[in-house]
Chains A and B, each alone.
Chain A
């Protein structure tokens, strides 16, 4: 397991959150915005274990829930679950590889965004959007997060000085 101090990880989550709320909102890719909180949850879950993974996910999700006006706890639940699952199987992946970051970020984004999408649209007066829109939004958003995940994970790897020797 890699050594990451808990307070540094939480500080990084907080910085990512403020960046998400202010800087990232300027980046609009056809009405899609990247979700840095998913990427950072995946990163910490991947480089620690399921115990810290679910905690990092819970903190990320809780921050999003505090600033939402919808059902409280939805983000916390899915982010914590995602962090736990990624953390539990993290030792099965080649963690330094950008391909791993891409695939896991994509899977995590899909896992988190899909139920949220359905929950949001249950109350849509015009009915559930068609499958094409699901693909265009959830799938596209997950793909966007994955590409950005490669860059952010590479950046965080340098910041936290994580490599196979740092055990």
Chain B
């Protein structure tokens, strides 16, 4: 008699979990996002505090870093002038050919307030959500290149799947020879460009950009560069290991674009 209420509770819990596994993804995502929002403020406070401590520990290296950054800024300014010239020429040529201009609709900056603690999941949490215009599948970039996409958008906090996550798939192209491939994340936390044809001449140092295939990631975003090319035994394609241009483990701020 005493055990019946306990049995009912156990059955109810199992039923809830079975429902959670098979429920339509939208309902579960909303529920999860809603619950996750509660943790936004404490996560933000914790991550800001630890980032502040980390910055203080870097103070002895500031002078050297400043010098290096100044040199880099000079080089980039020169490159910017050249790129602006190319952009204007491209604009003129496109208008001559009658191409439609695709303007980016929306972008929002976000701070990273946490990371998922699993060794094989590359998920970060940002402090912006639906209230700030973030939607699912929005592309996330840093100043250096592609970071990932929004996996779940809560009211005030969102989860971003990084490009080295095992579930991440990005259509990519080699800048030099325009070979197409699929960029995936691996359990080891690295990025690989797979489905490269066996006669591809991809080599170390080649830059990898998004190809625009798949409809999520726009074309032309820098992903990284090739560090190694290999062929797996039993596979009919080559793959390339990619070093991402963004340091995915050290990100503090990102930009979400539509």
Decide if A23 touches B17 in the complex (CB within 8 Å): no
Query: Within 8 Å of chain A (Cβ to Cβ): is B201?
Result: no
Min CB distance A105 to B, Å, is 16
A-B CB contact pairs (8 Å), 14 listed: A21-B115, A21-B116, A22-B46, A22-B47, A23-B50, A28-B249, A67-B39, A68-B118, A69-B151, A70-B167, A73-B20, A73-B21, A123-B167, A126-B186
Decide if B114 touches A21 in the complex (CB within 8 Å): yes
Residue numbers in A under 8 Å from B167 (CB-CB) = 70, 123
Q: Complex Cα distance A113/B187, Å?
A: 13
Decide if B187 touches A129 in the complex (CB within 8 Å): yes
Using CB atoms and an 8 Å cutoff, list the residues of chain B in contact with chain A.
17, 20-21, 28, 32, 35-36, 39, 42-43, 46-47, 50, 54, 113-121, 123, 125, 151-152, 159, 161, 166-167, 169, 182, 184, 186-189, 192, 194, 232, 239, 249
Min CB distance A72 to B, Å, is 5
For chain A residues 53-76, which have a beta carbon within 8 Å of chain B? 64-73, 76
Most buried by B among A31, A33, A37, A67: A67
Q: Complex Cα distance A41/B17, Å?
A: 20
Known: A67-B39, A125-B182. 10 other contacts (CB 8 A): A18-B43, A21-B43, A21-B115, A22-B114, A25-B114, A67-B116, A69-B159, A116-B118, A120-B187, A137-B120
Decide if B117 touches A25 in the complex (CB within 8 Å): yes
Q: Complex Cα distance A117/B28, Å?
A: 23
Decide if A68 touches B194 in the complex (CB within 8 Å): no
* CB within 8 Å for A125 and B46 given contacts A117-B120, A137-B119: no
Query: Within 8 Å of chain B (Cβ to Cβ): is A26?
Result: yes
Q: Complex Cα distance A77/B152, Å?
A: 22
Query: Within 8 Å of chain B (Cβ to Cβ): is A90?
Result: no
Residue numbers in B under 8 Å from A76 (CB-CB) = 17
Residue numbers in A under 8 Å from B43 (CB-CB) = 18, 21-22
* CB within 8 Å for A124 and B46 given contacts A72-B21, A73-B17: no
User: What is the interface residue range for chain A against chain B?
Assistant: 35 or more
Residue numbers in A under 8 Å from B123 (CB-CB) = 67-69
- Closest 9 pairs (CB-CB, A-B): A21-B114, A22-B46, A69-B151, A25-B115, A20-B117, A22-B47, A73-B17, A72-B20, A66-B35
The closest CB in chain B to the CB of A35 belongs to: B117
Q: Complex Cα distance A126/B46, Å?
A: 37
Residue numbers in A under 8 Å from B187 (CB-CB) = 117, 120-121, 124, 129, 133, 137
Min CB distance A148 to B, Å, is 13
Decide if B232 touches A21 in the complex (CB within 8 Å): no
Residue numbers in B under 8 Å from A133 (CB-CB) = 187-188
Min CB distance B108 to A, Å, is 20
The closest CB in chain A to the CB of B249 belongs to: A28
Neighbour of A64 across the interface among B117, B120, B192, B239, CB < 8 A: B117
Decide if B36 touches A66 in the complex (CB within 8 Å): yes
Query: Within 8 Å of chain B (Cβ to Cβ): is A24?
Result: yes
